[in-house]
Amino acid sequence: MKTETGQTIRLDDYRPTDYAIETVRLDLKLDPKRTQVTSTLSLAARDGTRGGTPLTLDGDALTFVFAELDGKPLSPDDYVATPDAFTLKRPPEGLFELTIGTETNPEGNSALMGLFRSSGTYCTQCEPEGFRRITYFLDRPDVLSVYTTRLEGPKDQVPVLLSNGNPIEEGELADGHHYAVWHDPYPKPSYLFAAVAGNLAHISDTFVTASGRTVDLRIYVEPGKEDRCHWAMDSLKRSMRWDEVRFGREYDLDIFMIVAVSDFNMGAMENKGLNVFNDKYILADPTTATDTDYAGIESVIAHEYFHNWTGDRITCRDWFQLCLKEGLTVFRDQEFTSDERSRPVKRISDVRTLKAHQFPEDAGPLAHPVRPQSYREINNFYTATVYEKGAEIVRMLATRLGEDGFRAGMDLYFERHDGEAATIEDFLACFAEATDTDLDTMLLWYNQAGTPTVTATSSWDAGSSTFTLKLTQNTPSTPGQSEKAPMPIPIRFGLVGPNGDDMEVERIEGAEAAADVLLLSEHEQTVVFHGIGARPVPSLLRGFSAPVRLEADTDTADLLFLLAHDSDPFNRWNAAQTLAMDHLKRSTEAIRRGDTLAADPEFIKALETVATDTGLEPAYRALALQLPAESDVFREIATDVDPAAVSKARTTLKGEIGSALAGTMRDLYDTLQDDGPYHPDPESTGRRALSACALDYLVAGGTDGAEELAKTHFDTARNMTDRLAALSTLAMNRLPSAEPALEDYAKMFEGDALAMDKWLSMQAMIPQPDTLDRVRELMDHPAFSIANPNRVRALIGAFATGNATGFHRADGAGYHFIANIVIELDPKNPQVAARLLAAFRSWRSLEEGRRTLARQELERVAERADLSRDSSDIVSRMLG
């Protein structure tokens, strides 16, 4: 294998910089191929820095032009400038000003980091280390500076010139050029810098803050797309209000801007006062966006806005602390959605996401702690672990401390660390102090990788009226960490009595307990509940109170009981999932033996009861009807997995449920149709989701007339949610009407990139072996482009991560194809290539034949000369 590139950065090696950069004056003269950047930094040695210590600034592929010190040209003897660094050999004492000129080529920037162009718009992405691709800098989050940015360019090409903060000056120049100057009074790290310039239209609105200040709100898009920005604006205003009410956080500048661009590696970016978004998370109208898109926009808008306090006002000391802003901000956006929509539905969706993405990551070769100890490429740590598990840790704090205690800790955090670059220790200390709680062991959650397994065995003793719960916890070894200490695991619980109500508990022995939350803190604990006069069914980990795998001794009868009675909506849903999962695992084994296993009629009946219970909200009922995904079953089986058998087991179960409940599903479908105007509110969103689910079961069950019904649903749909749901049912079930419907769709939405992404994804996910040929053909379709990350994710990403049958083809052709794409993409956009490569992360769990084929492809990638640091880091950890 090729030797690994790039050095390892370690948390233990952290030390502050020798110099501070107090102010930055940036001057950008925009040109497609030769943008001139002049940066003037006012610098001073920090206390304790020895006089004359050389100053080295980070660079990345920069073209150096000139350097001046305090306004006078520097002699070449005084500095060393390479593409990757600038060193001032003998900095003067006291405050000094260093001016450096560089040149950059935005149009040639296919990695989309630093300054690039997206459909003609100049745009920046600096997190985590993109600023050094614009100019030399101490490009790390603990160097906070006040920025003044001047942008200049030809007015006809770049009529709009934006940067962080407030606008302070603008004017016309000779030759049709113009300029604008922006000043951001809040000291910030370089990763929060942004500049945007182009021919952009905008919608505007205002927001009056709690203290009565009026803020100008703007969303910028390509001209002609303004009408698709109103939902984003509405979401923004609701987010701003919510942060005031729930966390007492007000917006702090006179203007808040969002720009939507069509080429973007990630979802969005929280640059101070100037958020930059992937247009997928801004643009929506009923004909082109689904309910899921509307919900996604609302939560990403909220997430980026909430970063203004958790990320911008208080940032991270170093990138190891990434979860400090990301985990916390994900928690905040989850809470926002829970308050705006349905709390149980949101919790269930989030747990599904966590289990689908984070659990497999934590169980495979890419496992890492929420706060890693070392990295080679920080871009590879924007993961489900840092974001979603990071949010779960914050949620556990909230669970343990209660609403008031949690808020007191947050208040102290904002008060104490405003304007600083903080650490996880700083964060935890605020909660410990504000609530006088010992939270030292919470650090283990940040430092230890791997998903703990909690086992629970129970017994009831009639004589003493006691119920005994034996709990154990065990965290598996992960790369670089073999021994794990027991962690504090909050277990929200209820003991459900024979009548279905929660029983009163007199007293609890053997564990710290507050109200309905037990704290499991040892490897093994025996908890005794007193005053329990009848055998209860324990409902453990209510609301998924900790990110663990629970193995409880609840049998089928107990699970059916919980599914019917649990007062905790999460665990009611979870009971159905557990029953389905048990069946799918056993059915997969049967299929591998050449056998079959019929579904339990009791289970199907219980599903029917939930599906038709009009006392439950439709969105919840839709979730209850949704079977675990193939990838969920894959994860639960864990070793020697045969993806084809899993797929067959799932399709069979779905068909059985569909045909057993055909009448019910048809009634459900009929009662849910609605011809009022479209609105993405939670109520109608839920109704559409349940209707889609009923339709899908009708088709899967092979019910007479179901295909026609789906085709009509598609043809007569008046919004994208209904249209796409029907199309998906036709395509995933491989019905003859799928092909003409796909053609109709392509005609309807030709030229609309985001709508065509859905069309690409859907075809890439059709679960059959020859889908690979279709994906290859689609790469030549005008709707596809390898240069655009959204298109790559829609077609290639959907195939690699959303089509187990295709990707895991027994002959290895799926692996070969993805490896080829990675090799092709890597030199152009390493971040997108490395993400795609991570689709192999569970390769060791596969049955032997596929495992060998997958390894060969990984080795082929690893052997490439000139592999980016991003991809080489992923592939070497995956093979390591």
Active site residues: 304
Q: Which of ligand ARG, Zn ion, none binds 334 (CB below 5-8 Å, type-dependent)? A: none
* 3-class secondary structure, 299: helix
Q: Which stretch binds ligand ARG (CB under 6 A): 172-180, 268-276, 362-370, 584-592?
A: 268-276
Question: Shortest distance, CB of residue 265 to ligand ARG, whole angstroms?
Answer: 5
- Using the CB atoms, write b or e for 32-63: b if 16+ within 10 Å: eeebebbbbbbbebeeebeeeeebbbbbbebe
Q: Which of 139, 270, 318, 361 binds ligand ARG (CB under 6 A)?
A: 270
Question: Shortest distance, CB of residue 414 to ligand ARG, whole angstroms?
Answer: 19
| Residue 310 or 525 having the CB closest to ligand ARG | 310
Quote the CA–CA distance of 11 and 38 in Å, as a whole number: 33
Question: Shortest distance, CB of residue 497 to ligand ARG, whole angstroms?
Answer: 45
* 3-class secondary structure, 847: coil
Q: Which of Zn ion, ligand ARG, none binds 265 (CB below 5-8 Å, type-dependent)? A: ligand ARG
- Which residue's Cβ lies closest to ligand ARG? 382
Q: Which of Zn ion, ligand ARG, none binds 337 (CB below 5-8 Å, type-dependent)? A: none
Question: Which positions from 319 through 348 interact with Zn ion, judged by CB under 5 A?
Answer: 326, 329
Question: Shortest distance, CB of residue 303 to ligand ARG, whole angstroms?
Answer: 6
Of the candidates 114, 102, 90, 70, the residue with the CA atom closest to the CA atom of residue 19: 90
Quote the CA–CA distance of 636 and 638 in Å, as a whole number: 5
Question: Shortest distance, CB of residue 411 to ligand ARG, whole angstroms?
Answer: 23
Token couple for 408: 């007191």
Any idea which residue has 């409902």 for tokens? Answer: 539
Q: Which of ligand ARG, Zn ion, none binds 349 (CB below 5-8 Å, type-dependent)? A: none
Q: Which of 134, 138, 269, 394 binds ligand ARG (CB under 6 A)?
A: 269
Quote the CA–CA distance of 323 and 147 in Å, as a whole number: 25
| Residue 270 or 656 having the CB closest to ligand ARG | 270
Of the candidates 143, 203, 134, the residue with the CA atom closest to the CA atom of residue 163: 134
Question: Shortest distance, CB of residue 300 to Zn ion, whole angstroms?
Answer: 9
Residue type, 785: S
Q: Does 118 bind ligand ARG (CB under 6 A)?
A: no
Residue type, 505: V
| Residue 282 or 616 having the CB closest to ligand ARG | 282
Quote the CA–CA distance of 641 and 646 in Å, as a whole number: 8
Q: Which stretch binds ligand ARG (CB under 6 A): 202-210, 267-275, 365-373, 797-805?
A: 267-275
Of the candidates 222, 190, 196, the residue with the CA atom closest to the CA atom of residue 117: 196
Q: Which of Zn ion, ligand ARG, none binds 186 (CB below 5-8 Å, type-dependent)? A: none
| Residue 266 or 875 having the CB closest to ligand ARG | 266
Q: Which stretch binds ligand ARG (CB under 6 A): 180-188, 265-273, 551-559, 789-797?
A: 265-273
| Residue 131 or 603 having the CB closest to ligand ARG | 131
Beta bridge partners of 85: 58, 82
Size, binding site for Zn ion by CB under 5 A: 2
Q: Which of Zn ion, ligand ARG, none binds 834 (CB below 5-8 Å, type-dependent)? A: none
| Residue 319 or 573 having the CB closest to Zn ion | 319
Residue type, 863: E
Beta bridge partners of 63: 103
Q: Does 127 bind ligand ARG (CB under 6 A)?
A: yes
Question: Shortest distance, CB of residue 395 to ligand ARG, whole angstroms?
Answer: 18
Neighbours of 332 (CB within 10 A): 25
On whether the CB atoms of residues 3 and 14 are closer than 8 A, the answer is no
Of the candidates 347, 429, 431, the residue with the CA atom closest to the CA atom of residue 388: 347
| Residue 329 or 588 having the CB closest to Zn ion | 329
Token couple for 285: 């109208």
The separation between the first and the last C-alpha atoms of the chain, rounded to the nearest angstrom, is: 11
Of the candidates 655, 671, 668, the residue with the CA atom closest to the CA atom of residue 695: 668
Strand pairing category for 255-261 and 214-221: parallel
Taking residues 603 to 632 in sequence order and writing x for each that binds Zn ion by CB under 5 A, - otherwise, the string is: ------------------------------
| Residue 304 or 608 having the CB closest to ligand ARG | 304
Of the candidates 553, 659, 544, 641, the residue with the CA atom closest to the CA atom of residue 598: 659
The CA-CA-CA angle for residues 199, 205, 211, to 5°, reads 130
Question: Shortest distance, CB of residue 295 to ligand ARG, whole angstroms?
Answer: 17
H/E stretch holding 321: none
On whether the CB atoms of residues 261 and 121 are closer than 8 A, the answer is yes
| Residue 303 or 549 having the CB closest to ligand ARG | 303
Q: Which of 148, 239, 265, 626 binds ligand ARG (CB under 6 A)?
A: 265
Residue 24: φ, ψ to 5°:
-130, 130
Q: Which stretch binds ligand ARG (CB under 6 A): 192-200, 262-270, 564-572, 851-859?
A: 262-270
Instruction: Output the CA–CA distances (angstroms, integers) from residue 436 to 183, 399, 439, 479, 537, in the order listed.
Output: 41, 15, 9, 35, 35
Q: Which stretch binds ligand ARG (CB under 6 A): 144-152, 260-268, 444-452, 872-880?
A: 260-268
Question: Shortest distance, CB of residue 304 to ligand ARG, whole angstroms?
Answer: 6
Q: Which of ligand ARG, Zn ion, none binds 382 (CB below 5-8 Å, type-dependent)? A: ligand ARG
Q: Which of 134, 200, 215, 266 binds ligand ARG (CB under 6 A)?
A: 266
Taking residues 809 to 838 in sequence order and writing x for each that binds ligand ARG by CB under 6 A, - otherwise, the string is: ------------------------------
Q: Which of ligand ARG, Zn ion, none binds 127 (CB below 5-8 Å, type-dependent)? A: ligand ARG
Q: Does 304 bind ligand ARG (CB under 6 A)?
A: yes
Size, binding site for ligand ARG by CB under 6 A: 11
H/E stretch holding 376: none
| Residue 307 or 713 having the CB closest to ligand ARG | 307
Beta bridge partners of 169: 181
Question: Which positions from 329 through 388 interact with ligand ARG, judged by CB under 6 A?
Answer: 379, 382
| Residue 379 or 790 having the CB closest to ligand ARG | 379
**Residue 128 preceded by cis peptide, ω within 30:** yes
* 3-class secondary structure, 698: helix
H/E stretch holding 259: strand 255-261
Beta bridge partners of 269: 276
| Residue 148 or 788 having the CB closest to ligand ARG | 788
| Residue 578 or 831 having the CB closest to ligand ARG | 831
Quote the CA–CA distance of 346 and 331 in Å, as a whole number: 12
User: How far out from the chain centre does Cα 733 lie?
Assistant: 29
Task: Return all residues near 739 (Cβ < 8 A) that are at least 6 apart.
Answer: none
H/E stretch holding 680: none
Residue type, 13: D
Q: Which stretch binds ligand ARG (CB under 6 A): 177-185, 264-272, 279-287, 857-865?
A: 264-272
Question: Which positions from 153 through 172 interact with ligand ARG, judged by CB under 6 A?
Answer: none
Token couple for 503: 């029983």
- Sheet containing 55-58: give its strands across: 55-58, 85-88, 79-82
Question: Shortest distance, CB of residue 126 to ligand ARG, whole angstroms?
Answer: 9
Q: Which stretch binds Zn ion (CB under 5 A): 68-76, 318-326, 579-587, 726-734?
A: 318-326
On whether the CB atoms of residues 694 and 710 are closer than 8 A, the answer is no
Q: Which of Zn ion, ligand ARG, none binds 269 (CB below 5-8 Å, type-dependent)? A: ligand ARG
Quote the CA–CA distance of 103 and 106 in Å, as a whole number: 10
Q: Does 399 bind ligand ARG (CB under 6 A)?
A: no
Question: Shortest distance, CB of residue 269 to ligand ARG, whole angstroms?
Answer: 5
Residues binding Zn ion (CB under 5 A): 326, 329
Which residues contribute to the site for ligand ARG (CB under 6 A)?
Answer: 127, 265-266, 268-270, 303-304, 326, 379, 382
